[in-house]
Structure 1
Amino acid sequence: MWEQLVLPLQFAFMQKALLISLLVAVPTALLSCFLVLKGWALMGDAISHAVLPGIVLAYILGFPLIVGAFGAGMLTALATGYLSDNSRVKQDTVMGVVFSGMFGLGIVLYTSITSDMHLDHILFGNMLGVGASDLWTAGLIGAVVAGALLLKWKDLMLHAFDPAQARASGLRVNLLHYGLLTLLSLTIVATLSATGLILAVGLLIAPGAIAFLLVRSFGAMLVLSVLVCLFSMLAGVYLSFFLDSAPAPTIILILTAIFVAAFLRKIILHRRPHAI
Structure 2
Amino acid sequence: MIEQLLLPFQFAFMQNAFLIAVIVSVPTALLSCFLVLKGWALMGDAVSHAVLPGIVLAYILGFPLILGAFAAGMIAALSTGYLSEHSRVKQDTVMGVVFSGMFGLGIVLYVWIRTNVHLDHILFGNMLGVGAEDLWTAGLISVFVSAALLLKWKDLMLHAFDPAQARASGLPVTLLHYGLLTLLSLTIVATLSATGLILAVGLLIAPGAIAFLLMRSFGRMLVVAAVVCMFSMLAGAYASFFLDSAPAPTIVLILTMIFIAAFIRKARQVRRASAMV
Same fold, judged at TM 0.5 (above): yes
Count the aligned residue pairs. 276
- Match for residue 193 of structure 1? 193
Deviations 1:128-172 (A, max 9, x none): 000000000000000000000000000000000111111111110
- Match for residue 34 of structure 1? 34
- 1:139 and 2:125 correspond: no
- Match for residue 203 of structure 1? 203
- Match for residue 78 of structure 2? 78
Aligned partner of residue 96 in structure 1, secondary structure? helix
User: How far did residue 117 of structure 1 move?
Assistant: 1.0
Aligned partner of residue 87 in structure 1, secondary structure? coil
- Match for residue 157 of structure 2? 157
Q: Distance in 2 between matches of 1:274 and 1:202?
A: 32
User: How far did residue 261 of structure 1 move?
Assistant: 0.4
User: How far did residue 274 of structure 1 move?
Assistant: 3.3
- The amino acid that maps onto 1:252 is V
TM-score, length of structure 2 as denominator length: 0.99
Stretch of structure 1 that moved more, 201-210 or 265-274: 265-274
Q: Distance in 2 between matches of 1:167 and 1:274?
A: 37
- Match for residue 244 of structure 1? 244
Q: Distance in 1 between matches of 2:270 and 2:77?
A: 38
Aligned partner of residue 198 in structure 1, secondary structure? coil
- Match for residue 130 of structure 2? 130
- The amino acid that maps onto 2:243 is L
- 1:228 and 2:245 correspond: no
Percent identity among equivalent residues?
82
Deviations 1:80-114 (A, max 9, x none): 00000000000000000000000000000000011
RMSD over equivalenced CA pairs, Å: 0.6
- Match for residue 181 of structure 1? 181
Q: Distance in 1 between matches of 2:116 and 2:215?
A: 47
Q: Distance in 2 between matches of 1:117 and 1:217?
A: 44
Deviations 1:11-50 (A, max 9, x none): 0000000000000000000000000000000000000000
Give ranges in structure 1 of 5+ residues lacking alignment. Answer: none
Alignment CA distance shift 1:158-1:274 (3 Å): closer
User: How far did residue 273 of structure 1 move?
Assistant: 3.2
- Match for residue 4 of structure 2? 4
Aligned partner of residue 197 in structure 1, secondary structure? coil
Aligned partner of residue 205 in structure 2, secondary structure? helix
| Equivalent runs, 1:55-70 vs 2, <5 Å | 55-70=55-70
Deviations 1:225-251 (A, max 9, x none): 000001000000000000000000000
Q: Distance in 2 between matches of 1:196 and 1:153?
A: 27
Aligned partner of residue 216 in structure 2, secondary structure? coil
- Structure 1 runs of 4+ with >3 Å offset: 273-276
Q: Distance in 1 between matches of 2:149 and 2:116?
A: 37
TM-score, length of structure 1 as denominator length: 0.99
- Match for residue 112 of structure 1? 112
